[in-house]
Amino acid sequence: MNMPMSPAAIPPMHTWTPKALYLHIPFCTNKCFYCDFNSYVAEGQPIDAYLDAIEREMAQTARQLSPQQIETVFVGGGTPTVLTPAQLTRFLTAVRRHFPLAPGVEFTMEANPGTTDSAKLAAMLEGGVNRISFGAQSFNDELLKIIGRIHEAEDVVRSIANAKAAGFTNLSIDLMFGLPNQKLQHLKDSVSRALELDLPHYSLYGLKVEENTLFHRMYQRDELPLPEEEEELAMYQHLMERLAGAGYRQYEISNFARPGHESRHNTTYWRNEPYYGIGAGAHGYAHGLRHMNIKGVQPYIDASRKGLPRLESHPVDAAEAMEDFMMVGLRLLQGVKSSDFQTQFGPEDSLDSHFGATIQRLIEQGLLERVPEEHGYRLTAQGILLGNEVFGAFV
Ligand code: SF4
């Protein structure tokens, strides 16, 4: 349920109307063993009723918050490309009907290898999608099986070729490291295959064993042969070296891009700027309120008939917003700037007055460094490796 906003508690920037839009399609062909995202095996799910519901939420959001031009759209999941071409067309038409898209909008859709045939790619292109992020995860078929993926390495290569043939140029893939039974050599081989694809953007994530996953249950039974911590660290360092050597700039802890191809949508999150979050389990941050939607497919559909399908919603006060600013902002390798902090929280606020002691401690530990020309701070090389320690220090 929405709570009334207390204007005095909300710093001025947080009343800005979002220019970013996230939409969640919670269906997948199967459930990967490590996955704790809000996703459900598509077979037997009321997908058309879900599309009705997400359209109701778009309409209600647009009515309540009268959106200004949207500069970035991200359709995530789940696997949005499990929708049929007709469902994709219907969904993408609804997005454009309810939200005015800016010229030059970055419009990303997540996809899994093997779920994008030429009819779906045509529907995506026609519907305005201009960037695709593929969940490749590895180019080792054995490892793909171990983590519960149903595609093979060749599916990634074919999917990228199909996307390029359909006219998509702005493409990214996700790779994972720290997988069960993964050796450094496996990762080196996967990075070589990934770089051969010559893409403008790569996202590289370490496996986290999350609760309520098969991997968590295996971990508790001591049946998950994860690499040692040093080996996982060596994998991350190898990734950073290889991507840098191939001309990619690491602009965030897990993200690498050729100049001009950084994800504009995700940068919204890292800059702690507002965004609409629509769909089952989606989070949003708009007009000073953070919300989380109801997660289950049918409960979400039912709730969307009565109003906005919120599980929880709360006004963000200045202290929470400042902590968020530091935690997400330091993920960007350019770090946080005093000028951005003051834009969000007012001219009398500064990084040093709010976080001076914590910043000083992290500098002494060699994890943060000053960026004098920006009046800001960023992670050191050591801080990049121990990012979670740094982010946690600001809560
Ligand atoms: S494809 Fe992605 S969202 Fe779907 S189950 Fe696998 S990891 Fe989760």
Chain position carrying tokens 């709010």: 354
- Does a structural domain hold residue 79? yes
263 lies in the same domain as 370: no
Question: Does residue 343 sit in the same domain as residue 228?
Answer: no
| Residue corresponding to tokens 């000073």 | 288
* pLDDT, one tens digit for every residue, the chain (395 residues): 333 333 345 455 556 789 999 999 999 999 999 999 999 999 999 999 999 999 999 999 999 877 789 999 999 999 999 999 999 999 999 999 999 999 999 999 999 998 899 999 999 999 999 999 999 999 999 999 999 999 999 999 999 999 999 999 999 999 999 999 999 999 999 999 999 999 999 999 999 999 999 999 999 999 999 999 999 999 999 999 999 999 999 999 999 999 999 999 999 999 999 999 999 999 999 988 999 999 999 999 999 999 999 999 999 998 999 999 999 999 999 999 999 999 888 888 889 989 999 999 999 999 999 998 888 999 999 999 999 999 999 98
Phi, psi of 287 (to 5 degrees): 55, 40
* 238 shares a domain with 136: yes
The owner of tokens 């990619």 is 248
Whether 308 is in a domain gets the answer no
| SS3 category, 393 | coil
Work out which ligand 1 atom sits closest to the CA atom of 149.
6
Kindly state whether residues 264 and 350 are assigned to the same domain: no
Is 298 inside any structural domain? no
Number of domains in the chain: 2
Residues framing ligand 1 (Cβ under 6 A): 28, 31-32, 35, 37, 39, 77-79, 112, 135
Check if the beta carbon of residue 289 is closer than 8 Å to that of residue 315.
yes
CA 304 centroid distance within chain = 24
Say yes or no: 345 and 264 in one domain: no
For residue 320, being part of any structural domain is answered with no
User: How far does CA 240 lie from the centroid of its chain?
Assistant: 19
Amino acid letter, 58? M
Give the CATH number of the domain where residue 212 resides: 3.20.20.70
From 31, 45, 138, 145, the mutation candidate for ligand 1 (largest count of ligand atoms within 8 A of CB) is 31
Q: Which domain holds residue 379?
A: 334-395
Residue 263 dihedral angles phi and psi, to the nearest 5°: -70, 110
Q: Note whether residue 324 is domain-resident.
A: no
Cα gap 151→141, rounded to integer Å: 8
Domain annotation covers residue 1 = no
Calculate how far, in angstroms, residue 37's C-alpha sits from the geometric centre of ligand 1: 7
pLDDT score of 69? 94
Last residue of a domain, one of 235, 251, 270: 270
SS3 content of the chain, % helix, strand, coil (to 5): 45, 20, 35
Q: Is residue 310 part of a domain?
A: no
How do beta strands 101-111 and 170-177 pair? unpaired
Domain end (from 214, 246, 270): 270
Query: Closest ligand 1 atom, CA of 148?
Result: 6
Residue 58 lies in a domain: yes
**Quick one: 252 and 338 in the same domain?**
no
If asked whether residues 232 and 380 sit together in one domain, one would say: no
Instruction: Looking at the structure, tell me whether residues 223 and 108 fall in a common domain.
Output: yes
Shared domain check, 124 and 251: yes
Output the CA 372–ligand 1 centroid distance in Å. 42
Q: What is the pTM of this model?
A: 0.94
Same domain? For 258 and 343 the reply is no
Q: What are the distances in angstroms from CA 95 to CA 41, 116, 361?
A: 24, 20, 46
